[in-house]
Amino acid sequence: MSVVLITGSSTGIGRLTALTLARQGHTVYASMKSVAGNEFTDVDGLDLHTVELDVTSQESADAAVAAVVEQAGRLDVVIQNAGHLYVGYVEAFTDDDLTRLLDINAVGAHRVNRAALPHLRAQRSGTLLWVGSTIIVTTPPFLGPYVASKAAFDALAVVTSYEAAQFGIETTIVMPGAITQGTSHFPNASHASDAAVTAAYAGLDPLVERNEQATAGLVRPGVNPHPQGVADEIARVLALPRGEKPFRTVVDFTEAGVDHVMAFADLTREAFVTRMGFGETLQLQR
């Protein structure tokens, strides 16, 4: 069993993943910006702990990782799950809005990596599991900054994997499709700061207002688009033997075909990197 640190564990995918992995016998550290009010209940007998981690602070990331290593003696898996949603018109988001979301959704993962990778490199083993999104392919309207931030997140996962693999560290990117049940993404979404520009787009407001409904309508009747399916896939991946974990896996209840797109994209990228003479960066070093 592994020692696992999960970011963004107060709700949704992160919380369900923490519970799922703990029930399977892993030692789980569920991190969140504020533990108060987000404690787990009915977890007697589980090796499940909460730790405060604000991904917008390197100091916080360093302290959280240090606490895990001190208490557990090691760290085996980092699940990059923390994220936030913006809904609105791209022009109406200020540069500060966009910078903030990129800071949370992409740079935040890098901060956690900078805290965790020294420990994983020293033991020459471990797994970085990134909870990305199919949205980087489907790119729906009215979610512009979020799409951009998840694209940055995915690219960061890929380029980090080349270097991490040389120290025996595996990478898997799990890409959930649109999920409108069991998460707080849409209810807690932020909106653009520029009210004047937002007002100029008022004619499109009815389209924005039915965004969540339109997303939910993509799921076939009888299919339950619950985040537990993502948690189960994460658990499946982590149970695979070292060296046999997939680089990318898709959990998409909308059946958008993103798995096919990404399979071709990754093959193209790997061929290009190999042609450059850097094929060894695609191989896990033991």
Residues 6+ apart with CB under 8 A from 115: 58, 61, 62, 64, 65, 66
Half-sphere exposure for 229 (CA within 13 Å, toward CB) = 18
Q: What is the residue extent of each domain of the chain?
A: 3-282
What does the pLDDT read at residue 222?
85
d(CA 261, CA 150): 16
Are 70 and 170 a contacting pair, CB within 8 Å? no
Cα three-residue angle 92-176-279, rounded to 5 degrees:
100
Q: How far is CA 129 from the centre of its chain?
A: 8
Kindly report, residue by residue over 109-133, the tens digit of the pLDDT: 999 999 999 999 999 999 999 999 9
- Closest by CA to 142, choosing from 186, 196, 95, 96, is 186
Q: Find all residues with CB under 8 Å of 12, minimum gap 6, and list them.
A: 179, 182, 183, 184, 185, 227
- Token pair in block for residue 136: 């980087």
Q: Strand, helix or coil at 107? A: helix
- Which residues sit opposite 174 in a β-bridge? 131, 249
pLDDT in tens, 176-226: 999 877 666 667 889 999 999 999 999 999 999 998 888 888 998 888 889
Tell me, what's the pLDDT at 18? 98
**pLDDT score recorded for residue 281:** 98
pLDDT at 185: 66
Fold classified for 3-282: Rossmann fold (3.40.50)
pTM: 0.96
Cα distance between residue 282 and residue 179, in whole Å: 31
Q: Which of 29, 86, 89, 146 is catalytic?
A: 146
- Report the distance separating Cα 263 and Cα 260, nearest Å: 5
99 vs 283: CA distance, rounded Å: 34
244-271 burial code (b ≥16 CB/10 A, e <16)? ebebbbbbbbbebebbeebeeeeeeeee
pLDDT at 86: 95
**Alpha carbons 237 and 224: distance in angstroms, whole number:** 21
What is the rounded radius of gyration, in angstroms, for the C-alpha atoms of the chain? 19
What pLDDT score was predicted for residue 43? Answer: 87
With a cut of 70, list the residues of the chain below it in pLDDT.
Answer: 182-186
86 is catalytic: no
Beta bridge partners of 126: 169
Q: Report which DSSP code applies to 220.
A: P
